[in-house]
Each structure stands twice: as structure tokens, then as C-alpha cells.
Structure 1
Amino acid sequence: MSTKAEHYDVIRKPIITEKSTMASENGAVVFEVDIAANKPQIKEAVESLFGVKVKAVNTTITKGKVKRFKGMLGRRKNVKKAYVTLVEGNTIDVTTGL
């Protein structure tokens, strides 16, 4: 059985942007998750940490951009986002924190 510490390793932080706010109107919440996490792990982590029922999980990987850091070329890390759709009647308030 998974422990709570492992669930915090899967889900890093909620993402609050204009697009994620529009998704929350349809019962979805957006999280930054571990790059190696799969959909069943994300579903189990959200259900156990927040006490809600998850209907679906969609994931996307945003590739890191090449940027300049103090004149040197550097690269941002790749980020995996999970769009978690909740069952009707379930909500998560991401503005209060865990």
C-alpha cells in the first residue's frame, strides 16, 4: 500500500493559470506532477490526499525552453501536467494549499 509521502512525491503543486481556471469551471483541477508518474498513480494520489473521487486523468508534457542564464545558454526542465477531472459534486480548493 502506498504511503502519504509517496503521494506527495507524485503531485508537486497545483498550477493556477488562466487556462487552469477555465478548466476548473468544468470540474477539472491542474497539477504539476512527477515526470515519471503514470495516470493510475496520479489518480490514487489525488483521491487519497484530497478525499475526492476522480473521473479521469489527462496528462501533457511541456518541453523545457532554451534560455540564457547570466549570459550562458541553459535549458529549463521538462514539466508534466495532469488535468484531473473530478466526479460531479467533488471539488478541490487549490487556493488554500494542502
Structure 2
Amino acid sequence: MPHQEYQTSIDAAIHCAYECEHCADECLGSMPECVRLCRDCAQICWTIAGFMSRSSRFISNVVRSCIDICEACASECEKHDNEHCQNCARSCRTAVEAYRKVAGVAAARA
């Protein structure tokens, strides 16, 4: 799949990483589990965006981890009433939807 076909998923990954970075900053000192999950999620989203940008043959391997980490981050952030946590949770859920499509395409090509 050429990288242009991944554009929506790349955009979702970058937005999720951005929201997670912001949420982690806002939660520093008060919600350590939220910070840890947001940092993990941001890192894996930045990573998968790169994999998709270069149409890596390892996308299907990485995307499964992205789904797991984004779902864990969303579940944690949904527990908190802060606007930044809610934004983060929504962006994680959106990214998971995009990653599931990518995983389906990757599985079909394997």
C-alpha cells in the first residue's frame, strides 16, 4: 500500500500522539498512570506514523501494539473529567479505528 493510502491513518496517529503528549504534560505530578500511558501511546503513535509514511513491511506487526496501547490509554483517560484527558481518549479511540483498518488491509495482503 503506497503511503498516500495511509494518509488518514497517519493523520490520526499524529493527532493522537499530539493529544497524548499534551495530556501527559497536564497530568504530571497528579496522575502518574495517566502520564505513563499517554507517553507510551504518544511514542507508539509517532512510530507507526513513520512506518506508514515509508510503507514499511512491518506495519502489521506494529499496528497491533498501537491498538493495545491506544485502547489502554483511552480507558485510563476516560476515567478523568479533565478536558485534556477527554480529548486524549477521543483521539486514541479515533486512532484505534484507523489502525484496525490498516491491520485489516495488512492481514489481507499477508
Q: What TM-score does the superposition give when structure 2 sets the normalisation length?
A: 0.29
In our comparison, the structure showing a higher alpha carbon Rg is: 1
Q: Choose between structure 1 and 2: higher helix proportion.
A: 2
Q: Choose between structure 1 and 2: higher strand proportion.
A: 1
